[in-house]
Structure 1
């Protein structure tokens, strides 16, 4: 569904020459924290809760143990991917605020309605988001909000995300926000920066393919 139409938010960290967004902590300075962003802890318990939401949704969406095991195997890096998404959502929020960008509930509802129509209903959209992006149904609107926020940030920056220059401008704003927030990532979950993202295979759901209809709804 979503892969047939590509828009400006198909980003590839590998081609962006930018400073690292996230770095590992230099020790166990924050016991019990998976990450610290802007002085606010993302606890290990919070991270595990989010991961369990996805696993529970995968279990409910599969017919037997074999299918569930296949779903788990396809998302083997779910814990690290989830943490990276949680941190980057906060970095995106800061970058958006720096650029004077905001997202309304109406924005999110419009995108959801458009995507549900394309997917064939609410349940179909939830299933697609779970299978393709590892987003639990109860987090769908949060995920859509970050999609819109990223689009609006790119627009506010005048960044054409189909060009190398546009991607560089977007990530420059994200890097500045990351530095402001003084992000610390617990070493047990690895380390990620823009140039070494492949080492931890981090996936950022808000930097994925979004339908052109969704973009038009939020323009």
Structure 2
């Protein structure tokens, strides 16, 4: 159990590092959409709402204006990171479905209880997830479900989340869903295994953070 909990603490970082294996062409125009996944839109409004949730949590945790500005500066890529997580959630869920993997609410609650114990309470866990992974408190359970799903999928494949077999399953799911990223948020480059900026210099990214700057 302790090994599983330690793995949970590391999994989100591992996903963030390896996620460029997911593919998206970003070549089509989809007004109002930040991404298309399986023909369903992740709208710019939905993305901005998620970013605003994180910014509000950061603001509550850091009431000092100067320190808050430092937090914003340190998380300048929050919009793209948030979109990445939103897309990854759907891709991972598809890969899990393909493998017959499901996650129960009880499993999420058990993982959360264990992590809260390690973090010194619910507030400690929320703060840790906010600082380390940019996850707002209201999205914590969703993120834990994502991690359990990833662990169970890896186990079903006879591997772990750091191995090529796991990421091959996610790449397959990504292809099935025809992930298409709005170029203003970049694109996925499979060969380089890294996020690259789309070659559209006339597109200016306006993040929710910029709009929500305190006066």
TM-score (norm: length of structure 1): 0.80
CA gap of 1:63–1:196, structure 2 versus 1, over 3 A, is same
Structure 1 residue aligned with 2:52: 52
Which ranges of structure 2 fall in alignment gaps of 5 or more residues?
1-5, 198-215
Corresponding residue for 2:194? 197
Q: Distance in 2 between matches of 1:182 and 1:124?
A: 38
How do residues 114-125 of structure 1 correspond to structure 2 at under 5 angstroms?
A: 114-125=114-125
CA RMSD, Structure 1 to Structure 2 (Å): 2.4
The total of aligned residue pairs comes to 190
- SS of match in other structure, 1:192: strand
Matches within 5 A, 1:5-84: 5=6, 9=11, 11=14, 20-28=21-29, 30-84=30-84
Q: Which residue in the other structure is 2:106 paired with?
A: 106
Mapped contact 1:159–1:169 kept (Cα < 8 A): yes
* Cα drift, residue 112 of structure 1: 0.4
Deviations 1:136-187 (A, max 9, x none): 000000011101000000000001346xxxx110011101101110110000
Contact map agreement 1:95 1:174 (CA 8 A) in 2: yes
Going from structure 1 to structure 2, the CA distance change for 1:182 and 1:161 (only over 3 Å counts) comes to closer
What's the offset of the Cα at 1:24?
3.4
Which has the larger displacement, 68-77 or 186-195? 186-195
Identify which of structures 1 and 2 has the higher relative contact order when contacts are C-alpha pairs closer than 8 Å and 6+ apart. 1
- Residues 152 and 193 of structure 1: CA distance in aligned 2, closer, same or farther (over 3 Å): farther
Match of 1:206 in 2: none
Give me the TM-score of the superposition, normalised by structure 2.
0.81
- Return the alpha-carbon distance in structure 1 between the equivalents of residues 85 and 189 of structure 2: 13
Distance in structure 2 (CA, Å) of the matches to 1:87 and 1:138: 18
- Residue of structure 2 equivalent to 1:204: none
CA contact (8 A) 2:20 2:193 kept: no
How far 1:196 moved relative to its partner?
A: 3.5
CA distance in structure 1 between the aligned counterparts of 2:119 and 2:96, rounded to whole angstroms? 29
CA distance in 2, matches of 1:42, 1:12: 20
Answering whether residue 166 of structure 2 is matched by residue 170 of structure 1, we say yes
Q: Which runs of 5+ in 1 are unaligned?
A: 201-219
**Deviation of residue 22 (structure 1)?**
2.4
1: CA distance between counterparts of 2:21 and 2:196? Answer: 13
Secondary structure in structure 1 of the residue aligned to 2:111? helix
Confirm or deny: 8 A CA contact 2:151 2:161 kept in the other structure: no
Q: Which residue of 2 aligns with 1:213?
A: none
